[in-house]
Amino acid sequence: MVGVCMTVISLVQLVPKNSISSWVDEILAIDALLFLVSALLSYWALRHERQAAKLETVADWLFLIGLSVMSFVSVLVAFDLFLN
């Protein structure tokens, strides 16, 4: 998912500069960090069984938040590209 965020950031750089392109870059960069932290927490949960349930729950929530943010940004980009 980090790779998808980076690809979209690169593609947004190709469209004409406007107010939404700078926001999309910043939001997707933060979103990539959310996916990275989610993956790290999942890995940590595999290694530490005592804390596994709590870590997996936090990792799941971060992943779902990241997916939601990515979906919201994709709708913003789609409407911006097709309405302008």
Instruction: Supply φ then ψ for residue 14, to 5 degrees.
Output: -80, -20
Beta strands per DSSP E along 1-84 = none
Residue-wise pLDDT for 15-70, tens only, equals: 666 667 778 888 888 998 999 999 999 999 999 989 899 999 999 999 999 999 98
pLDDT at 54: 93
Q: How far apart are CA 3 and CA 12, in angstroms?
A: 14
Provide the whole-model pTM. 0.78
Does the pLDDT at position 81 exceed 80?
no
Does the pLDDT at position 14 exceed 70?
no
Q: How far apart are CA 3 and CA 9, in angstroms?
A: 10
Helix (H, G, I), strand (E, B) or coil at 36: helix
Q: How far apart are CA 8 and CA 74, in angstroms?
A: 9
Cβ neighbours, 10 Å, residue 84: 9
